[in-house]
Amino acid sequence: MPVAREESVELSFSQLHDFEVCPVRYRFAQVWGVPAPPDELQPRHVAAIGSTDLGASVHEALAAWHNTGGELLDLYRGPEKGREMLARYLAHPLSRARTLAVEAGFNMAIGGTRVRGVVDCVCEVDGRVALIDFKTNATLDAALMEAYSLQLRIYGLAAHRGLLPGGRDPHLILFDLRRGEQHQIDPDDVQVEERVGRASTKIAAGDFRLGPEHAQRPCSLCAYRPICTDARKVL
């Protein structure tokens, strides 16, 4: 039987997503504090999919450019693939939107849970405020789009509560830098509150059991696979 935990729960979107995809992975990282192996010790296909250096370099350049202006490509320090992404962004009308804030953070209560996040960019698009999240993923399938939609909806809830600059009724935009495509996300405060509440209740109770909804968890991409007794046997 799960053992109740007295400490309050704090979540970012990535932690919430980890818990929803695999509670066991969440427990390794967030409860037990087991460090993931460094990239050079992970299987090559796992390190390649992570592409952490690429994503960090692209986001760093975009933040600097939206803050100070200048030549975006001159600000970039990273793999060549990122330069191609930034060129696609510059060719898109969204890049010409007026910047209101960069890396705008928030920390809000949803029930008894603290939820924190950082919005990549707050801009004015067609006379209305927009919260923009940049993605560098190699692929954006339906599952990832659903997950990232939740991330933007969390940002939307923070804006509706007046916790972000620009106003309480923003557009929510996911910008796919790999393909130079803009995706509009519909807000859904009720969904955010329900999913945060469901996850935090289980976390607070120490309930990290796997269920049928975790049957397709991506164990082959998990850094904890070598030490996880719940890892799926994937050929």
* Cα 107 from chain centroid (whole Å): 15
Report pLDDT digits (tens) over 103-113. 999 999 999 99
Do strands 128-135 and 113-125 pair parallel, antiparallel, or not at all (unpaired)? antiparallel
**Could you state, in order of their start, the residue ranges of all structural domains in the chain?**
10-227
Tokens 């890892």 correspond to what residue?
Answer: 231
46 or 214, greater pLDDT: 214
| Topology of domain 10-227, CATH | Lambda Exonuclease; Chain A (3.90.320)
pLDDT of the residue at 51: 58
Q: What is the pTM of this model?
A: 0.90
CA–CA dist 49, 120 (Å, integer): 21
Tens digits of per-residue pLDDT, 156-207? 999 999 999 999 999 999 999 999 999 999 999 999 999 999 999 999 999 9
Q: What six digits make up the tokens of 56? A: 């960090």
Q: With cut-offs at 50, 70 and 90, classify the pLDDT of residue 7.
A: low
What's phi and psi for 110, nearest 5 deg?
Answer: -125, 105
Closest CA to 199 of 148, 134, 150: 150
Cα(115)–Cα(16) distance, integer angstroms: 9
Q: What is the pLDDT of residue 164?
A: 98
- Supply the pLDDT for residue 223: 85
* 218 vs 199: CA distance, rounded Å: 19
| Euclidean distance between CA atoms 61 and 64, whole angstroms | 5
* Per-residue pLDDT tens over the stretch 97-147: 999 999 999 999 999 999 999 999 999 999 999 999 999 998 889 989 999
User: What is the rounded average pLDDT for all residues in the chain?
Assistant: 90
HEC string for the chain: CCCCCCCCCEECHHHHHHHHHCHHHHHHHHHCCCCCCCHHHCCHHHHHHHCHHHHHHHHHHHHHHHHHCCCHHHHCCCCHHHHHHHHHHHCCHHHHCEEEEEEEEEEEEECCEEEEEEEEEEEEECCEEEEEEEECCCCCCHHHHHHHHHHHHHHHHHHHCCCCCCCCCCEEEEEECCCCEEEEECCCHHHHHHHHHHHHHHHHCCCCCCCHHHCCCCHHHCCCHHHCCCCCCCC
